[in-house]
């Protein structure tokens, strides 16, 4: 019995090592969204290109759509943008852009320069709507279903792999 006690430290260490090994495959900085499966928070923001017109997620009820958070100062957004532009040409789902913590001028210039994949963009200069959606960096993308429920959040740029492996199958299953 006493002999067994001497093995305990080894056993504890092995368990620890296994966890550390698994930990190597995880990203401690990635914060999963608590909104998956919950309704997309409502908002009313001015459109980027038509400041007199407003937009809110209620307008998209009945459709599957994507909300993409972007900004002109965001380097990763520039990397993601060509993928989005390509994807938008397929006209699979409408993509709404959320111009986050930016100035209208820079945002508009950026779209002119790099292309506009968005059905429309809304302007969230002070980032309040971003906070409501739990946005903590750009780019981030939400996939929202017909009932206005958030089904998926892409943290960081949408890569072609992420598009093929995660987003497209999801859109299909939602009946897009």
Partner 1 sequence: MKRLAWTLLFAAGLAFGQASEIAHPDPAVEARLKALAEELRCLVCQNQTIADSNASLALDLRNEIREQVAQGKSDDEIRAYMVARYGDFVLYRPPWKSTTLLLWLGPFALLAVGAGVFAATVRRRKRESAGASESPAAERRTRAEVEALLED
Partner 2 sequence: MIPELGHFALIVALALALAQVAIAFTGARTGNSALLATVRPAAIGQFVFVAGAFAALAYCFVTSDFSVLNVTQHSNSKLPVNYRFAATWGSHEGSILLWALMLATWTFLVAAVSRSLPERFVARVLGVMGLVSVGFLLFILITSNPFERLLPAAAEGEDLNPLLQDPGMVIHPPMLYMGYVGFSVAFAFSIAALLEGRLDAAWARWSRPWTLAAWCFLTVGICLGSAWAYYTLGWGGWWFWDPVENASFMPWLVGTALIHSLAVTEKRGTFRSWTVLLAIMAFSLSLVGTFLVRSGVLTSVHAFATDPRRGIFILLFLVLVVGGSLTLFAWRAPRVGLGSGFGAVSRESMLLANNVLLAVAMSAVLLGTLYPLFLDALGMGKISVGSPYFDAVFVPLMAPAIFLMAVGPVASWKRAALPELWVRLRWALGVSVVAALAVPFMRGKVTPMIVFGIWLGFWVITATCAQVIQRLHGSPQPTLGGKIAAQSRSWYGMVLAHLGIAIFILGVTLVKGYETERDLRMSPGDRVTLAGFDFAFKGTKQLPGPNYSVVQGEFEVSRGGKPERVLYPEKRTYPVSGQTMTWAAIDTGVTRDIYVSLGEPVGDGAWGVRVYHKPFVDWIWAGCFVMALGGLFALSDRRYRLRKQVTEAATPAAASASA
Enumerate binding residues for partner 1 (CB under 8 A): 31-34, 101, 126-128, 131-134, 136-137
* Residue 134 binding target from partner 2, partner 1, none, CB below 5 to 8 Å by type: partner 1
Query: Least distance to partner 2 from the beta carbon of 133, Å?
Result: 18
* Residue 17 binding target from partner 2, partner 1, none, CB below 5 to 8 Å by type: partner 2
Phi and psi angles of residue 172, each rounded to the nearest 5 degrees, phi first: -60, -45
* Residue 101 binding target from partner 1, partner 2, none, CB below 5 to 8 Å by type: partner 1
**Hey, what are 5's tokens?**
């006690």
Stretch 25-54 residues interacting with partner 2 (CB under 8 A): 26, 28-32
**Hey, what are 8's tokens?**
């305990």
- Closest by alpha carbon to 67, among 138, 169, 166, 162? 138
Phi and psi angles of residue 123, each rounded to the nearest 5 degrees, phi first: -105, 115
Q: Cα angle vertex 153, ends 150, 156, to 5°?
A: 155
Query: Least distance to partner 1 from the beta carbon of 150, Å?
Result: 12
Q: Measure Cα distances from 120 to 13, 77, 86, 137, 165 in Å.
A: 55, 17, 16, 21, 26
Residue 7 binds partner 2 (CB under 8 A) = yes
Residue 10 binds partner 2 (CB under 8 A) = yes
In this structure, the number of other CB atoms found within 10 A of the CB of residue 13 comes to 10
Query: Least distance to partner 1 from the beta carbon of 14, Å?
Result: 18
Query: Least distance to partner 2 from the beta carbon of 68, Å?
Result: 23
Residues that bind partner 2 in the complex, under the rule CB under 8 A: 2-3, 6-7, 9-10, 13-14, 16-17, 19-24, 26, 28-32
């Amino acid at each position: 019995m006493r002999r067994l006690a001497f093995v305990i430290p080894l056993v504890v260490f092995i368990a620890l090592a296994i966890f550390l090994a698994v930990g190597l495959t995880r990203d401690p900085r990635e914060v999963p969204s608590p909104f998956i499966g919950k309704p997309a928070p409502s908002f009313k923001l001015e459109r980027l290109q038509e400041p007199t017109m407003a937009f809110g997620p209620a307008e998209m009820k009945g459709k599957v759509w994507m909300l993409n958070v972007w900004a002109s100062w965001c380097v990763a957004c520039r990397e993601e943008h060509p993928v989005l532009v390509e994807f938008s040409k397929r006209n699979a789902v409408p993509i709404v852009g959320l111009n986050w913590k930016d100035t209208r001028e820079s945002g508009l210039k950026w779209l002119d320069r790099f292309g506009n994949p968005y059905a429309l963009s809304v302007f969230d200069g002070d980032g309040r709507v971003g906070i409501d959606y739990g946005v903590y960096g750009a780019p981030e993308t939400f996939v929202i279903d017909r009932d206005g429920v958030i089904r998926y959040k892409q943290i960081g740029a949408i890569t072609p792999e992420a598009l093929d492996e995660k987003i497209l199958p999801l859109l299909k299953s939602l009946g897009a």
